[in-house]
Amino acid sequence: MVFRSALLRRVASSPTVLAVAAVIAVGCGGISPIAVLNFVNQGVGNLPGQGGAPPVPATQPANINTTCDLPAARKSISIQIRNESAQDVNFSITLLASAGSGGFVCQAERPIYSSAGYTSLPLLMPGNVFRQGCAEVSLGSLRGGNEMLGVTFTGSLAPNPGATPQTATIAGFPLDGVSLLPLPEVIVLGDSNSLFICQGNNVCSQGGFAYTNGSGILIDGITSTRTQGTRCNANAGTNPEWRLLNPSQADSAARAFEYVAGANITISVLNRIFDANPVRNKATWRVLGPAPNFEMIHAELR
């Protein structure tokens, strides 16, 4: 088991969290991620009227308003976090989606999101804003609705003594690249923990990954500016986040900071501790489209 310690932490606490966290703690002890994530298979069959037709091809736009309109292959994403460095690495990412009347998550699939750990988040007024560390995401910047759902994952990855891509350590469930997570509209990096929080008024200095020692003490941070594809990294905004491409658009339209519905996302922390070159990424992402094509959306920029 290479995932040294993993904690699934909902943004709002609940007894269910302890149950899910216990499953993660078991990890390699024999519980199948597929068995645990059977919620992914609930309510994600063929859409009415499709009659068993294959999913929409990766390059074909469709009229998508809610998750109920998505073909099965696009209702979820997979995320893998890899540590190529010779240091311990801690991480924190938050998945967000709108819900309620006019929201992205349709009512029929609300239980699927709840089973995955998404909870209704407290929003700040004015503007219905959710704040995670220094980052702020407004409900109005999502597809609609009157509610925001979210789940936060934090944890650490053991060092990679070889410091090569081939020997990278990989996070356990549910960030192992195999388990499926209900599709978010935004992925926010970092939180208010001192490992990740922004410095001063620079929101882009907040990041979702940090080089640490064996006790979890910060050695060197990884800002969003040096994390490939974030709005900060792409000079497309000042939030430490990745965004979902409008599912009604062709995958080929994805901008540098956008992933696609059904994406397979691989995040790699590189062996670049103390690298002072501001234009070199310390963390990269590779984004593939959904099965069966697995089209390349974003290649790594190392």
pLDDT tens across 35-72, in order?
233 333 323 222 223 333 444 454 555 789 999 999 99
DSSP 128: T
Mean pLDDT in residue range 229-257 = 97
Please give the span between the terminal C-alpha atoms of the chain, in angstroms, as a whole number.
Answer: 27
Among 175, 189, 279, which residue's Cα sits nearest to residue 230? 189
What predicted TM-score, i.e. pTM, was given to this entire model?
A: 0.82
Average pLDDT over residues 26-39: 31
**In a domain? residue 50:** no
**4: pLDDT strictly greater than 90:** no
Q: Percent of the chain beyond pLDDT 70?
A: 80
pLDDT score for 62: 73
Residue 269 lies in a domain: yes
Q: Is 176 a member of any domain?
A: yes
Structural domain contains residue 217:
yes
> Looking at residue 17, what DSSP letter applies?
H
Q: Are 281 and 225 in contact (CB under 8 A)?
A: no
H/E stretch holding 238: none
Query: Which of 157, 171, 173, 271 minimizes the C-alpha distance to 222?
Result: 271
The DSSP letter of residue 223 is -
Residue 2 pLDDT class (50, 70, 90 cuts): very low
pLDDT greater than 80 at residue 254: yes
DSSP letter at 199? B
Per-residue pLDDT reduced to its tens digit, 182-204: 999 999 999 999 999 999 999 99
Residue 297 CA to residue 138 CA, distance in Å, equals 26
Domain count for the chain, please give it: 1
- The beta strands (E) that lie in 110-177 are given as 119-120, 129-132, 135-138, 147-157, 169-170
Q: Residue 30: what residue type?
A: G
Q: Using one digit for the tens of pLDDT, what is the confidence trace for 111-147?
A: 999 999 999 999 999 999 999 999 999 999 999 999 9
Reduce the DSSP state of residue 10 to 3 states and report it.
coil
pLDDT computed for residue 139 by the predictor: 97
Higher pLDDT, 2 or 247: 247
Instruction: State the Cα torsion 252-257-258-259 to the nearest 10°.
Output: 100
pLDDT confidence of residue 260: 98
- The per-residue pLDDT of the chain, averaged, comes to 84
Of the candidates 240, 180, 183, 210, the residue with the CA atom closest to the CA atom of residue 83: 210
- CB-CB contact of 179 with 116 (8 Å): no
What's the number of CA atoms in the CB half-sphere (13 Å) around residue 132?
30
Answer yes or no: is 213 within a domain.
yes
Q: Report the distance separating Cα 299 and Cα 62, nearest Å.
A: 25
Is the pLDDT confidence value at 34 over 60?
Answer: no
In a domain, 174, yes or no: yes
In a domain, 62, yes or no: no
Q: Domain residues for 158?
A: 5-38+73-298
Instruction: Evaluate if residue 3 carries a pLDDT over 80.
Output: no
DSSP 276: -
Contacts of 205 (CB under 8 A, 6+ apart): 198, 199, 221, 223, 224, 225
CB 36 within 8 A of CB 144: no
Residue scoring higher pLDDT (49 or 231) = 231
Is residue 51 included in any domain, yes or no? no
